[in-house]
Amino acid sequence: MNTEQKHIPVLLDAVINALGDINGKTIIDCTFGAGGYSRAFLERGAHVIAFDRDPNVVSDAKNLNDKYGDRFTFIPKTFSHVADIDMTVDAIVFDLGISSMQIDVPERGFSFRADAPLDMRMSQDGITASEFIAQKSVPELANVLRMYGDVKKANILARAIKENAPKTTFELRDLIHNPKDVAPVFQALRIAVNDEMGELEQALDAVPELLKPGGKCICVTFHSIEDRIVKNTFRTWTSAPGDPRIPTIERAPFDIIKTALPTDEELKNNSRARSAHMRGAIKRTENEMESV
C-alpha cells in the first residue's frame, strides 16, 4: 500500500521550526508512520534513523532508503529500543498515537466505524484487543477505561465488556450505551493493548544519554496522559535534584524550548491535529553548564 498520500503530518512546521538548521545533523524519528517527518528532515539535509513498530510502513521506508541511501536507516521495532542506539544524536522526535493508515484500514480493528475483528495491534504481534479483554479482570478493565478514556461508570461498562467478550469492533461498540463513550473506550483499549504509555516512558528515559550537548527532544502528543508524561519528564530534566539551596534551574541539564498547538489553518485542513500538542527540550552545552 502506498501510504504517502494518506497521512498528513501534524505540527510538522512547528517541529521543523523548533529543530532549526538540521543540515548534516542526525535525527532519530521514533514514529516513522507515513514518513512525513523523516522525509522533511531528509529534504533539509539531515541523517535520519527511524523507528516504527508497524510492519505495513516498511515499503514506505524502503522508498526513502532508495532515494537517500545511507542517510536514512529504518529500524522495524518499538521505539523503546532507542536505548540500544550506540551513538549520540542531535535530535530525537516523537509524533505519538496512531496514523491515518492504521485507523482508516478497517481490518486493523482500531475504528468503531467499520466492523472488523477487535485487533488494535500496531505491531501486528502480541495479544489482540479481544484477547486483552479475555485476560483482564473487571477491575483491571475498568481501570483502563477510566485512566485512558476518562469513561464514567467504568465498572459497569467493564463488567458488560468482560461478560460479553466482544470479538469484533461492532460487538464492542454495541455494548457501549452512551455514544459519547464509544471513541474514548476504543482509544483506551488501543493505548493499553499497545502499552503506549509504557513505551513512551521507557524511550524518554533513554533520551538524555542519547542527545549530544545542544541536542533537542521534540514530542507531539495527542492524549492528556501522554502530554503529562512528557511534561513531567521534561520537568525532571530541567530541574536538578540534590542541594535544595541551589536554584534547581541553575544546575539543570536541559532547558525547555518552544511548545506549540496547531494553528486554525492546520485544524481546518487536518482534523487529526485536533488534540495535538508539541513540547520541546534542549540539552545544555558544556559551556552553558559551566557558566551558571
Ligand X SMILES: C[S@@+](CC[C@H](N)C(=O)[O-])C[C@H]1O[C@@H](n2cnc3c(N)ncnc32)[C@H](O)[C@@H]1O
Which of 28, 35, 85, 176 is close enough to bind ligand X by CB under 6 A? 35
Rg (CA), the chain: 20
User: Judged by CB under 6 A, does residue 99 bind ligand X?
Assistant: yes
Q: Which stretch binds ligand X (CB under 6 A): 45-53, 105-113, 132-140, 210-218?
A: 45-53
3-state secondary structure of 173: helix
Q: Are strands 211-221 and 277-283 parallel, antiparallel or unpaired?
A: antiparallel
277-283 vs 254-260, strand pairing mode:
antiparallel
Neighbours of 143 (CB within 10 A): 17
One of 97, 109, 215, 280 touching ligand X (CB under 6 A): 97
Task: Give yes or no for residue 64 binding ligand X (CB under 6 A).
Answer: no
Look up residue 115 and give its DSSP letter. -
Positions 227 through 266 that interact with ligand X (CB under 6 A): none
Whichever of 145 and 220 has its CB closer to ligand X, that residue is 220
Q: How far apart are CA 188 and CA 197, in angstroms?
A: 11
Query: In the complex, what is the shortest distance from the CB of residue 136 to ligand X, in angstroms, rounded to a whole number?
Result: 20
Q: Which of 11, 14, 19, 37 binds ligand X (CB under 6 A)?
A: 37
Contacting residue, 26, 33, 169, 190, with ligand X by CB under 6 A: 33
Residues 6+ apart with CB under 8 A from 182: 112, 173, 176
Q: How many residues bind ligand X (CB under 6 A)?
A: 21
CA distances from 102 to 39, 72, 248 (A): 19, 23, 42
Beta strands in the chain (DSSP E): 26-29, 47-51, 72-75, 89-95, 211-221, 254-260, 277-283
Query: Which segment (93-101, 106-114, 132-140, 204-212) binds ligand X by CB under 6 A?
Result: 93-101
Contact 213, 174 (CB under 8 A): no
Longest dimension (CA), the chain: 63
Residue 109 touching ligand X (CB under 6 A): no
| Cross-strand pairs, 27 | 48, 91
Interacting residue with ligand X among 27, 46, 49, 51 (CB under 6 A): 51
7 binds ligand X (CB under 6 A): yes
Least distance to ligand X, CB of residue 91, Å: 14
Q: How far is the CB of 166 from ligand X (least distance, A)?
A: 23
Nearest CA-CA partner of 82 in 95, 97, 93: 93
| Contact region with ligand X (CB under 6 A), list: 35-43, 127-135, 183-191, 238-246 | 35-43
Cell of 32: 516513522
Site for ligand X in 149-208 (CB under 6 A): 199
Asked if 34 interacts with ligand X (CB under 6 A), we say: yes
CB of 22 to ligand X, least distance (A): 15
Q: Given the rule CB under 6 A, which residues bind ligand X?
A: 7, 9, 31, 33-37, 51-54, 57, 78-79, 95, 97-99, 122, 199
